[in-house]
Structure 1
């Protein structure tokens, strides 16, 4: 099978590519390299006029004329190489705005892909029209939108989520929906909003290539190391403010018993290497299930504070903790961290279970086969 994976912002498509290639398929990734994380892409697209003085000019032009220069330049890059993006058995979009373009140019690019390839599937692996609609209609549903509704997130910072509530992105959603064979959710957060959708093809967990992630059973001989990696763009969406406040209390409470490492916007490779020494990794507070960063940390045997709500534990029939369910509550986070610091054997036990869980439920070859089964049904 010849497969084109469009978009990459978490390493999901790279791990899926590795699994599919090992199973004998021809796979390419098209998309942006996503800024500081810089994931490998076979056909890279550069997002131009997106920094400094040129970005200011772009904003002015867009405000006055409604014309987005970055979208136009992205379309030109695609058009120049469009012959490379034909004849695929399956095209899979990472989300409903894989090229980060405004409606007009995103539609032009997608229309070419729809017309020149056999099947197209859409991943729900981040915010999109249906997910955002569900979260606003169900404000008690755990998501970053709760932070926005509580007034903790500035609408300007939340623009890449709120755009899915605009009429142009509703039209884009409808256009995509009418041309795809199915929608696949990557975890429980995206699964629940799609349960009644007629094009929903089911939940396929994120693929993790454990062959590339070394597992070292945790040992605690001195300090307990806590790692908090921050992506400034998603600071409030991930609940990093709650983690930082909790960590200040933990630092004061336990002093030399703990070492706290905090990073901001560093490259993926450096990010991975820095948390190698950690026992505990703080990921996010607004999730029901684990995202990609959390899963990779769990594969290394870390104790991760992330999403692990009842729907997640029931879906995988878990009887013991494989990670710590995080919520946007400082006292709760301090309590959970304190328990682990005072019970280091529990850190070691959860770390072992975390790795075993990833090997069982997220193995990249097993997941690649699930994708193949779903695509073939369509």
Structure 2
């Protein structure tokens, strides 16, 4: 098949592309540059410039490429609110993409209007308040606007299917008539090196800095303060990030333990990369999330949004440092079996193939 992946967050489409190509499909990623992460894409829709010039670029480039982005068997949009919303720009761009190609799918991934409206009511805990306070520094966000919600609703009705990437987003879209089974996040295990997880002088614990409020970094800071005071000679505690993905993964590779997200019921891309490396991962592993992926157990140590859950988990791990090679091996195997790029890519192919009637594409 000829496949167009529109948009990129944290390497999700990059890793999916690798799996699809391994299965013999032709894949193109068209996306804005994902900020400081510098994730490789095929067609750059904007993000090379900042300020006013950058805004003009993000407006013009998708229009420039629009006529060439046709004739694909499948297109997949990473997020309902990916394109500029003013003046119905997003509606024009996405409708043209859908009309000029075969089947179309929307990922339930990341923040969008459905997540902000329905996730608030359906999740037992979620990042909304901290996201507003620390990241947006505002009492409201555009996702909550009526016009944004209407576009999200219209888009769901227009696409052939909605594919959630984890439990949280499945909950936000669960009322939709065309929602598909949740598909795990993919990671290209062939390009992520696995090294035995051995603790040397200190247990190295790493938390990636990106969206302070959304990820629950304040809880990590509080926990690290407590842990530093209790175990100054046993722990090396690192909070760092906001760097290109390649540099970020290099930093992660030097750790024994990776702390992912505190507000999440599920493991994010950060945690999936860490599993593939053979790290011990702390983050989202609620039972309802595991059930959504069809697994009974996970090597991820579940955290709740509070500092004490981190402190308790690290103290338990300090007593098990001799077990880290085994724990790391289990992490890698889980990544291969559940998140392996080829396995996940085949699940996407299955979802696309069983949806709707294929349109004629030029």
Q: After the TM superposition, which residues 1-378 of structure 1 pair with which residues of structure 2 at under 5 Å, given as runs?
A: 1-47=1-47, 50-51=50-51, 54=52, 70=55, 73-102=57-86, 104-138=88-122, 141-145=124-128, 147=130, 152-153=133-134, 155-156=136-137, 162-231=141-210, 234-315=211-292, 321-378=298-355
CA deviation string 1:142-168 (max 9, x = no partner):
2212535xx854654686xx3221011
Rate the CA distance shift 1:155–1:24 in 2: closer, same or farther, 3 A. Answer: closer
Q: Distance in 2 between matches of 1:3 and 1:294?
A: 27
Greater alpha carbon shift after TM alignment, 88-97 vs 212-221? 212-221
CA deviation string 1:232-265 (max 9, x = no partner):
xx10111001101111211121112111222131
Q: Distance in 2 between matches of 1:76 and 1:318?
A: 44
Q: Distance in 1 between matches of 2:298 and 2:58?
A: 44
Rate the CA distance shift 1:106–1:319 in 2: closer, same or farther, 3 A. Answer: closer
Does the CA contact (< 8 Å) of 1:282 and 1:306 recur in 2?
Answer: yes
Q: Distance in 2 between matches of 1:270 and 1:48?
A: 19
Does the CA contact (< 8 Å) of 1:89 and 1:119 recur in 2?
Answer: yes
Q: Distance in 2 between matches of 1:158 and 1:12?
A: 30
Q: CA deviation at 1:318?
A: 5.5
Q: Which runs of 5+ in 2 are unaligned?
A: 356-362
Q: State TM-score, norm by structure 1.
A: 0.87
Q: Distance in 1 between matches of 2:92 and 2:292?
A: 39
Aligned to 1:62: none
Q: State the aligned residue count.
A: 355
Q: Distance in 2 between matches of 1:175 and 1:338?
A: 49
CA deviation string 1:305-329 (max 9, x = no partner):
2101121344456565501112221
User: 1 or 2 for the larger relative contact order (CA 8 Å, sep ≥6)?
Assistant: 2
Q: State TM-score, norm by structure 2.
A: 0.91
Does the CA contact (< 8 Å) of 2:134 and 2:212 recur in 1?
Answer: no
Does the CA contact (< 8 Å) of 1:103 and 1:168 recur in 2?
Answer: no
The root-mean-square deviation of aligned C-alpha atoms, in Å, is 2.2
Does the CA contact (< 8 Å) of 2:114 and 2:149 recur in 1?
Answer: no
Q: Distance in 1 between matches of 2:85 and 2:47?
A: 10
Rate the CA distance shift 1:154–1:219 in 2: closer, same or farther, 3 A. Answer: closer
Q: Which runs of 5+ in 1 are unaligned?
A: 56-68
Q: CA deviation at 1:178?
A: 2.6
